[in-house]
Each structure stands twice: as C-alpha cells, then as structure tokens.
Amino acid sequence: MLMIHKSTTTHTNQIKKPAIQETHQDMSALEPKQKLVYAILEFLNDSIKDGTVRSDDQESMEVAMQCISESFSVEWSSDSPNSALSVKPSSLLSIFEVFLKTQKKVASTSAESTSQPTQSTSQTNKSQEAESLKAAGNQLVSQRDFSAAIAKYTEAIQLDPTNPVYYSNRAAAQSQLGAHDEAIEDALKALEVDPTFAKAYSRLGHGYFSSCQYEKAVEAYEKGLELEPDNTTIRNSLATAKSKAKSSSSLNTTSNPPGSSNSSRGAMPGMGGPGGMPDLASLMNNPMMAQMAQSLMANGGMERMMQNPMVQQMMNSLGGAGGGGMPDISQLMNDPAARELASSLMGGLGGGAAGTGPNNDNAKP
C-alpha cells in the first residue's frame, strides 16, 4: 500500500503544475470548486469515521482523498480543517438533501402548472358549448318552439350551472308554455347564482303575476328596478302589478266585508247581504261592477239578462220604488239561471292565460 501511495504521489506531482497554473489564471472561478472539493473531502472523511466505509477500504479511501486534494490544489488535513474552505456546520450531505427537496418541489409545481391550463382549457370548451346551446335555444324561442328551447337551455345549464342567463332564459320559455311555477323556480335559481341580475327579477315578477300572486310580483319588480332604475319594461310591469294588486285587494274586501255571514255567499260581489243592497251610485263605483257592466254591453249579456223573469221583477220594483227600498238581491241570486249568468260574467273577468302578464317580454331571451 505504501508503494501505491508513493506511485500515486509521484503521478500527482507530475500533473500538479498545470493545476497550479489554472489557479493562477482565475482564482475567483476556482474558489467555488475548491469549496466543493473540500466538502467532498470532508464527506469522505466523515464516512470513514462513521463506518460507512469498511475498515478494509479505509486506506484506499485515504489515498483517493489525497489524490483529489492534490489534483485541485486543495490543502486537506483531518487534524486541522481549513475554515476558509469548509462549509461546516453544514455538510455536503445536508446541502444535497436540500437540493433534492427543492428539485422535487419544483417538479411538483411544474406539473400543477401544466395541468391547470388543461383544466382551464376544458372549462373554456364547456362554456363555449353552453353558449352555443343557449344561442340555439334563443333561435327556437323566436320560432315559438318553447319545449325544444327548454331542452337546449337545460343542456347549457348542465355544462355550466354557474351562468344565471341560462336559468333566466329557461324561465322565459316556461312562462310561454304556462308553466309559471317552473318559471318562478328557474328565476329564483338565476338569482341564487347572481343576486344582481335584474332580468331574473323581471322574469320572477312575470311568473308571480301570471300566477295571480300580485303582491309578490310587485316585490320582484321593485327589486329589479332598484338594480336598473332606467329599465322601462320593469317600470311599466311594476305599475301594472301594483294596479292589479290594488284592484285584487279591493275586490276581496268588497266581496268579503268584515262581519259578513254565510247567507250572503250567493250574492254578487260588491252587493249587500239579505235584505237589500247599497244605493246604485255606490254600486256602480265598484270597479268590478263597472267592469261587469262593460262586459254585459259588449257580449249581449244585457239582452239575455233582461229576459230573466227575476230581473224583470227587480226592474219593475225599481221603477215603482219611488225612493223606497231596493229589492232583495239575494232573492234574485237564488234563481239558478240568474246565478249562472252572473257566474259566467264574473268568470270572464279573471284569470291569466299562458304567457300573459305586464309587458310580456318573456319570449325575448
């Protein structure tokens, strides 16, 4: 082994000068390399001490360390460490472990950044397809094929359930088919996604109006108008809904006055109970009675009513009353023919058909 050491020393002496010449050429460039070499020598020395290197190989390792030291012109001695080149208290092994962790983290981040554009691209494709389905639904609405339009909007929602327009457009198509409960549900879903979507409030108001829920319609239109104060359609719809709500409330109050008994149920709305009726001026001031009179004049109902014996009796009584009491209207309404005629006239005044309502723009997605 001593001969190997000598031979190796002789060999390293032969190549020692070029190494020294390199250090003279650029000492600053060699300094990091010398620190690395010194760290390697420290690592090998620690491996000998902790038993990583077998005892049979220790002498060979020491020879190798000497060769490395001389090749890079790095003075090495386990007894007197070179503090200028040593990286302690760190070690080559700990530095390398940090490098491996960093490399793993960088690789993971790179993989995530690569997958994110893929996911983003996939979502973009879905959104584009959903927009195409919405456009197809709008076209079907313009052709008044509302059932097919609903199917297209439903497909769009399945692809992108975060777009409130799809729910709102489907609500419009539902209204056109008279499915007002479904329209209300879709309008509410649109507002869950985007509470600031004014058009959804308009669709909600239309659904409530068509379902004769006038107070709720007023509330929905008011919220929509708060979001878009210059929206003429919503403003006009609100005015219509308020008028209808007021009229409906007035009719309910007149038809069922406080303290009224069951004996007056057969009477016509707006008239008194058994024993008479209000004066004629008050009666004709009732909006519903005025509306009924207009309906009678328009559809020939007046002529048919005058042919009823009970009506003739009432009119004769009116003519001869001479300022006396009015006839008993409850007796008149006990006649089936008169009651049927009044009911048919009243039925023609209420109810909303499919797609009706204030400023019905629901066919416009």
Residue 194 sits in a domain of what CATH number? Answer: 1.25.40.10
Task: Give the pLDDT of residue 3.
Answer: 36
> In this structure, are 288 and 237 located in the same domain?
no
Residue 307 domain flag: yes
> In this structure, are 243 and 302 located in the same domain?
no
Q: Which helix (H) or strand (E) holds 266?
A: none
Pick from 60, 59, 73, 77: nearest CA to 15: 73
Residue 236 domain flag: yes
Task: Give the pLDDT of residue 92.
Answer: 84
Task: Give the pLDDT of residue 118.
Answer: 57
Give the number of other Cβ atoms within 10 Å of residue 309's Cβ: 10
Task: Give the pLDDT of residue 90.
Answer: 81
Q: Enter the pTM of the model.
A: 0.45
Range of the domain at 37: 2-89
Pick from 229, 167, 156, 220: nearest CA to 193: 167
> In this structure, are 249 and 302 located in the same domain?
no
Residue 27 domain flag: yes
The answer to whether 268 and 340 are in contact (CB under 8 A) is no
> In this structure, are 246 and 199 located in the same domain?
yes
> In this structure, are 209 and 287 located in the same domain?
no
Residue 125 domain flag: no
Residues of the chain short of pLDDT 50, as ranges, are 1-25, 261-279, 318, 320-327, 347-353
Cα separation, 330 vs 264, whole angstroms: 7
**Strand, coil or helix: 192:** helix
Task: Give the pLDDT of residue 248.
Answer: 79
